[in-house]
Amino acid sequence: MEITKIQIEELGKTDWKTVEGKLTKIYTFKNYTEVIGFTKKAFEVIDKHNHHPEIIVNYSKVEVSVNNHEEKNLSDKCYLLAKDIDFINNIPSI
């Protein structure tokens, strides 16, 4: 099922953007240790969803871009993954 305009607007409130047919967001952190911690948590969520985004990691930023690779569109799976990645970003580190 394709993502709805309402879902895209909702994600826009948390800085997700639609870029070249993908949902894209850049997360910013204080240092590389935080970047790697976030990336590890994100991989766990990604694996559970079995929906694999493009991830670009640098010193203080992680860029996540997700779409439905087979159909080259945005689906409910993309929306749910984006929401869950945002959720793990708000969980404090232990």
* Residue type present at position 32: Y
Task: Read off the pLDDT of residues 69-81 as tens digits, 9 standing for 90 and up.
Answer: 777 789 999 999 9
Asked whether residue 94 is domain-assigned, the answer is: no
Give the range of the structural domain holding residue 9, as residue numbers without chain letter. 5-89
Asked whether residue 14 is domain-assigned, the answer is: yes
For the entire predicted model, the pTM comes to 0.89
Q: How far apart are CA 46 and CA 84, in angstroms?
A: 9
What pLDDT shows up at residue 47?
A: 95
Q: In terms of pLDDT, which residue wins out, 90 or 30?
A: 30
Q: How far apart are CA 68 and CA 53, in angstroms?
A: 9
Task: Read off the pLDDT of residues 22-45 as tens digits, 9 standing for 90 and up.
Answer: 999 999 999 999 999 999 999 999
Tell me how many domains the chain contains.
1
- CA quadruple 56, 61, 64, 65: dihedral positive or negative? negative
What pLDDT shows up at residue 25?
A: 97
Q: How far apart are CA 52 and CA 70, in angstroms?
A: 11
Q: How far apart are CA 47 and CA 33, in angstroms?
A: 21
CATH of the domain at 45: 3.30.1360.20
